[in-house]
Amino acid sequence: MAKPKQTIVSPAKQARTGSDKSKGRADSDSPANVVRGAGGELHQQATGDQVRLTTNNGTVVSDDHNSLKAGPRGPVLLEDFVLREKLFHFDHERIPERVVHARGLAAHGFFELTDSLAKHTTAAILGETGVRTPVFVRFSTVAGNRGSADLARDVRGFAVKMYTSEGNWDIVGNNIPVFFIQDAIKFPDLAHAVKEEPDRGFPQAQSAHDTFWDWIAMTPEAMHMVMWQMSDRTIPRSMRMMQGFGVHTFRLIDAEGLSTFVKFHWTPKLGVQSVVWDEAVKINGADPDFHRRDLYNAIEAGDFPEWDLGVQLFSEAEADAFDFDHLDSTKVISEEVVPLRTIGRLVLDRNPTNVFSETEQVAFCTQNMPAGIDFSDDPLLHGRNFSYLDTQLKRLGSPNFHQLPINAPKCPFANMQRDGHMQMGLHPQRVTYTPSLLDPSGPREDPAKGFRSFAAPVEGPKLRQRSPTFADHYSQARQFFLSQTEPEQNHLVSALIFELSKVEALIVRAAMLGHLVNIDETLGERVAAGLGHDAPIVPAEPAVTTRTDLAAAPSLSILARFAPTLVGRKIGVLVTDGAEAALVADLMAAAKKAGATVEVIAPRVGGATLDDGARLAADHQLQGGPSVLFDTVVLAVSEAGVAALLNEAAAVAWVHDAFAHLKVIGASAAAEPLLAKAGVVADAGLVPLTDRAHVADYIKAAEAGRIWAREPSVRSVY
């Protein structure tokens, strides 16, 4: 009897088609309503085909999307064991690296208040101008582990610890003013979706995969954040050129107990700048530590990064008049609605002495704030207040993590907390409690100076419900997209095409297109064209109608808001033997005057001998210093030097990439053959340096930034 033909399926094909367990299905011998207990035993659930979601002790969960609150807009209740268990388990999933924000870099510095808010708050740090408060700032990616590359397309953490005279104040935010979710109970789901897929262990530090976009497609509240995530904001040129936001609404409390709502913004003095996507990919290959090297070297050179602290202040009545809910962390209050008031400056002037002791052991907690500042009823913020403290206990192994030097307050602190793992203090006192007749001199509360929560009235039934005021998921996403300049819109479209092209499940792609047309019909159609999606796009059903009357807000755009500059930027100069010494000297002098730094690249690591016989040392050998590492480039070459470079692939790629990445290129007359071989076409960004007088022309062109008009000629624009 002949054997039946056997079909051999490769492991890669199995993964694509979802055979066995690759798509998270139950064992083939187990029906969908059979689940395994902790010991591996099987249990039948009498719920038809749907497995019921339960807590770890088996209690069936009624709502996995909303925290228990006092009324739809009320505070989150401590009794919510579903929220606490979910966050508790998530916080302890990894040891010892941070579950998110593992890839971090940091620096010391100071904050100085320049405009007092004493009218609005009793907090000394916001009332006493001219005082320099020590700070420690940690920047990070979100999705990747400690070994991931710096230029992943990802949201960046921007966490500031201020060692104030009244206790530590942690502003733990991002480089984007909104977030993916409205309620902290959904954060473990977000992180699980964006992290590497558990059945294959990849991709690392990327959102371009099925599980992330599957979750996003089922979570309309994330659409505004997705627009920011797919924008150039998530591939920053430098941490020194990146905004930071507190994200949530907070309160300022004055001496009379009156409240003013506040949002916090960090704006870099160097302006905001991003790289282009192809550049980011190549930087990750050339220097995966690009951001941390940039920050470290700038501080070591004395080019201290600086940010303005700006606040948006508004009253309860003004908040009620907004056409969105300010307690919703997926919404932004644009500067066109509430102007930004600059009140201080943040300067980073010292690198960590030890990365582990400081950068890795620093513990940020959103609950850390001095009296005079308070929380709003943002449910995402309330969940973070629990989660961050719980996370530090797991990561640092002790309730005494606050005693580590990087975490300890720099003001006096005292309480009755004792012992515990890694206790570093000596407490000879007999009395470790209050009240006491034996020792009434111990630390006691101070009703006048102590932290007082704002006496906001709370009334409402205990329930799990999203406030109807949180229901508009598309209007601000549309406003953000329409607020971008044409190049920025093109980049956002390209990013969505790239990300969704990595999604194998066509149903997820189709669902995302349904959301995108709700944001903007043209946006959805452009992404569909780039994906080759020819079927009709079925719009997602919105909870409320998307508004089309929101005016574009230039403050939401990088290019519309921040003027280009050479200050803090880097010029790469490719030099060969025989190059004109006077031209190189003039270029370096002009760059310094413009606030830029110059790094020399040569065919040999030893440098080049110029036409006056002087030896110019090189910072990089050609293959180790690709043009992606620089903001603008110059070819200071001789005829003999170019002749040798024409057969050097790295040299051709060096010039080609600079042109493709829209950079201004200064080129001596001898560079023409190399320009031609690299495919460079003359435009406003190609500045001939046929004599020394043209150096000023090059500097002026470079100060104007990238040549965006060149972009359609070097890459497809859908």
What is the arithmetic mean of pLDDT over 522-532?
A: 98
The answer to whether the CB of 383 falls within 8 A of the CB of 76 is yes
pLDDT of residue 90: 79
Structure tokens at 105: 């870099």
Q: Is 647 in the active site?
A: no
* DSSP β-ladder status, 341-350 and 306-314: antiparallel
Choose between 40 and 382: higher pLDDT.
382
Please state the domain extents for the chain.
Answer: 32-62, 68-179+220-403, 472-560, 564-714
CATH for 564-714, options being 3.40.50.880, 3.80.30.20, 3.30.70.100, 1.25.40.10 = 3.40.50.880
pLDDT of residue 426: 82
For residue 476, is pLDDT > 50? Answer: yes
Give the whole-angstrom CA distance, residue 452 versus residue 446.
10
pLDDT of residue 694: 94
Nearest residue to 654 (alpha-carbon basis) of 586, 602, 578, 709: 602
- Collapse the DSSP code of 258 into the 3-class scheme (helix H, G, I; strand E, B; otherwise coil) and give the result: coil
pLDDT of residue 450: 86
Beta strands in 412-519 (DSSP E): 462-464
Nearest residue to 658 (alpha-carbon basis) of 680, 640, 643: 680
Pure H helices in 169-240: 187-194, 210-217, 223-229
Name the percent of the chain lying above pLDDT 70.
Answer: 92
pLDDT of residue 429: 84
Q: Which of 252-256, 325-329, 366-370, 481-485 has the lowest mean pLDDT?
A: 366-370
pLDDT of residue 311: 98
Q: What are 686-708's pLDDT values in tens digits?
A: 999 988 889 999 999 999 999 99
490, 492, 497, 498: CA torsion to nearest 10:
110
What is the arithmetic mean of pLDDT over 432-442?
A: 86
Q: Which of 66, 108, 120, 174 is catalytic?
A: 174
Q: Which helix (H) or strand (E) holds 160?
A: strand 157-164
Nearest residue to 396 (alpha-carbon basis) of 419, 420, 427: 420
Question: First vs last Cα of the chain: how many Å apart?
Answer: 58
For residue 347, is pLDDT > 50? Answer: yes
Q: Which residues sit opposite 35 in a β-bridge? A: 43
Q: What are 395-435's pLDDT values in tens digits?
A: 888 888 888 999 998 988 888 788 877 788 888 888 888 88
CATH superfamily membership of 472-560: Catalase, four-helical domain (1.20.1370.20)
Phi/psi-derived region of residue 20, left when phi > 0, alpha when psi is between -120 and 50, beta in every other case: left
Structure tokens at 406: 């990087």
Q: What is the pTM of this model?
A: 0.87
Give the whole-angstrom CA distance, residue 503 versus residue 453.
46
For residue 13, is pLDDT > 50? Answer: no
Give the whole-angstrom CA distance, residue 85 versus residue 72.
21
- The confidence band for 264, taking pLDDT boundaries of 50, 70 and 90, is very high
CA distances from 614 to 584, 622, 667 (A): 12, 20, 21
Choose between 668 and 93: higher pLDDT.
668
Burial 496-528, CB ≥16 within 10 A → b, else e: bbebbeebebeebbbbbbbbbbbbbeebbbbbb
Choose between 381 and 392: higher pLDDT.
381
Q: What are 270-283's pLDDT values in tens digits?
A: 999 999 999 999 99
Q: Which of 28-42, 420-434, 460-474, 533-547 has the lowest mean pLDDT?
A: 28-42
The answer to whether the CB of 629 falls within 8 A of the CB of 648 is no
Nearest residue to 221 (alpha-carbon basis) of 400, 476, 561: 476
Q: Is 174 in the active site?
A: yes
- The confidence band for 17, taking pLDDT boundaries of 50, 70 and 90, is very low
The answer to whether the CB of 105 falls within 8 A of the CB of 138 is yes
Structure tokens at 242: 């990146």
Give the whole-angstrom CA distance, residue 112 versus residue 344.
6
Fold of 68-179+220-403: Catalase HpII,  Chain A, domain 1 (2.40.180)
Give the whole-angstrom CA distance, residue 32 versus residue 52.
11
What is the arithmetic mean of pLDDT over 185-197?
A: 95
Average pLDDT score over the chain: 90
What is the arithmetic mean of pLDDT over 329-346?
A: 98
What is the arithmetic mean of pLDDT over 362-373?
A: 92
Q: Which of 66, 101, 351, 473 is catalytic?
A: 101
What is the arithmetic mean of pLDDT over 172-180?
A: 98
At 159, give phi and psi (nearest 5°): -110, 130
Give the whole-angstrom CA distance, residue 93 versus residue 198.
13
pLDDT of residue 94: 59
In the sheet where 665-667 sits, what is the strand order?
620-621, 597-602, 570-575, 632-636, 665-667, 686-688
pLDDT of residue 92: 65
Choose between 23 and 206: higher pLDDT.
206
Nearest residue to 160 (alpha-carbon basis) of 362, 427, 399: 362
- The confidence band for 385, taking pLDDT boundaries of 50, 70 and 90, is very high
pLDDT of residue 400: 85
